Structure 1
Amino acid sequence: MTPLLLVVLVIAIAGLVLWASLEATIIYPPMVGLLYRDGRFQRELLPGRHIRFDPLKRTRIVQVLVAERPVSLPEVTILSKDQFSFRLSLAPVMAVTDARAYFETQQSLDTPSFAHFVGGSGVHAALYPSVAAATLEAAGERTLAEILASPGVLTADVLARIEGAVPGATVSRLLLTAVNLPPETRKMFTDVERAKMEAQGALERARGEQAALRVLANAARLVSDNPALANLRLLQAIEATKGSTTIILGEGAIAPGGFGPVGSTGRRRDGLEAGG
């Protein structure tokens, strides 16, 4: 083997070793990378392609999601001031402000599952206990009726209580997604609301009957004071009637057509007028 060929072979081997030692990592928004060497933090990496020479595998890049997003948490069982037990589903809207602090306050950082930490479903271990404890305290100061009537007041109180509870992250909003009441509690509230609606309906019917009686009383008073109004009302009824109509008037009244008085015993039969 010639010296030139030996040099070329050595260079090729060295190039292959160098190529195998290069590691490329692509970070996509809204992720950021944390570069560690031998377990020590080096620097934060912005989105993009990052190539590093690591023949001994001493470095590691952890990706952390920093975008604001709602986080799904398990239901929280709480007890209201009036001793009603029920469950709430809460979803904090969280954004990571310090990726290093957020990541390094987690448990079991050496497990492989943290290679892409908080890539989608990861949640900081301090979030759920903080939200659950704050919700239990806030709900204990309010009755169930107050919580159902103004859920936004409860979530605002819980949000103020968990401020700074998650290292390296902020919770900007707290969404109340569901209120799960036990069946007996739901039935009780349903019965109460049904009773209120029935009472309201009975009250409205009574008001309608009173209004109708007042109208009738006013009409009777007007007819008593002005007998001619009865004749005018009769004429209106005659004008509104369609088809052939026979009207029997009382004693002393004038028959239609001016043929003289009609007795009070007159009856209507088959559309003909008969005098008694």
Structure 2
Amino acid sequence: MTRLTVTESERAVVRVDGVVAAVLAAGRHRLPGRAWRRSVERVDVRERTVLLTSQESAAADVPGVRFSVALRFRVADPVAFLVVSADPVDDLRLAAQVAARDWVAARAVDDVVSGRAGATAELTAAVAPAAARLGVDVLEVSLRDVAVPGEVRRALLEVSAARLEAQARLERARGETAALRALANGTRALEQNPALLQLRTVQAAAEGGGQVVLHLGAAVGGAAAGGAEAS
């Protein structure tokens, strides 16, 4: 009797006369069939990461955008992983490469650079059907190390600087407009209430450490009238 121990990080595909007879999970197992009729293949089911470096594609508006693709996956169906393709990892790598290039080509370079973080969900969904056929679960396909040609990078920096300068000018104009509006409102209030002007004069003199001289005189009918001067 033949026994086989399978670890938690793998699955064992047992064939008898070339036909899959069992897929064994972690533990100790008694193998079916006679030894000379039987074969066992172990498949690693742990998470794996494949990095595709030095990829290049044309964006919608400029050529020569360089990037890398990180592909994280694990085997979900050991039989399909062994049977469907002679090199399933290479097929998976190609699917991720095509999906990433299509994603870059459909966008302007500015959107590629700024939207890199949001590309993960789209790329993962794009690669998932091909991966499922190979017996693989795609956990994540992400875009990394995006680089644009030097002249394009300089142009983007100039555009960004111009945008910031325009925003700063707009904020300064808004501040000046608000100050003029406040000044106009204050002038209108003084014109409608002359007493406020005298009060403001007294306050300004007091705040500046000046002297305030009041002139009192008798008004017609015995009413008192007052004026203020600041020095």
Task: Determine if the TM-score, normalized by the shorter chain, exceeds 0.5.
Answer: yes
Opposite residue 198 of structure 1, the aligned amino acid is E
Opposite residue 42 of structure 2, the aligned amino acid is Q
State the match for 1:234 in structure 2.
201
2:41 is paired with a residue whose SS is strand
Whole-angstrom distance in 1 between the partners of 2:92 and 2:9: 21
Q: Give how far 1:49 is off.
A: 2.4
Q: Which residue, 100, 103, 110 being the options, matches 1:145?
A: 110
Q: Which residue, 27, 43, 56 being the options, matches 2:6?
A: 27
Contact 2:119/2:142, CA 8 A, preserved across alignment: no
Q: Which residue, 192, 198, 203 being the options, matches 2:170?
A: 203
Answer 1 or 2: which has greater helix percent: 2
User: TM-score by structure 1 length?
Assistant: 0.62
Q: Give how far 1:126 is off.
A: 0.5
Q: 1:101 to 1:246 in 2, by over 3 A?
A: closer
Q: 1:56 to 1:47 in 2, by over 3 A?
A: closer
Answer 1 or 2: which has greater strand percent: 2
Contact 1:70/1:91, CA 8 A, preserved across alignment: no
State the match for 1:88 in structure 2.
67
User: TM-score by structure 2 length?
Assistant: 0.72
State the match for 2:211 in structure 1.
247
Whole-angstrom distance in 2 between the partners of 1:92 and 1:83: 26
Q: 1:210 to 1:32 in 2, by over 3 A?
A: same
State the match for 1:12 in structure 2.
none
Unaligned ranges ≥5, structure 2? 217-228
How many pairs align?
A: 217
State the match for 2:137 in structure 1.
170
Q: 1:23 to 1:191 in 2, by over 3 A?
A: farther
Which moves more between the two structures, 186-195 or 151-160? 151-160
State the match for 1:79 in structure 2.
58
Contact 1:223/1:229, CA 8 A, preserved across alignment: yes
Whole-angstrom distance in 2 between the partners of 1:205 and 1:229: 30
Contact 2:96/2:141, CA 8 A, preserved across alignment: no
Q: Give how far 1:29 is off.
A: 1.8
Q: Which residue, 14, 29, 43 being the options, matches 2:22?
A: 43
State the match for 2:157 in structure 1.
190
Q: Which residue, 152, 174, 179 being the options, matches 1:212?
A: 179
Whole-angstrom distance in 2 between the partners of 1:187 and 1:49: 63
RMSD: 3.8
2:90 is paired with a residue whose SS is coil
Whole-angstrom distance in 2 between the partners of 1:186 and 1:234: 58
Q: Give how far 1:211 is off.
A: 1.3
Opposite residue 219 of structure 1, the aligned amino acid is G
Q: Does 1:127 align with 2:103?
A: no
1:135 is paired with a residue whose SS is helix
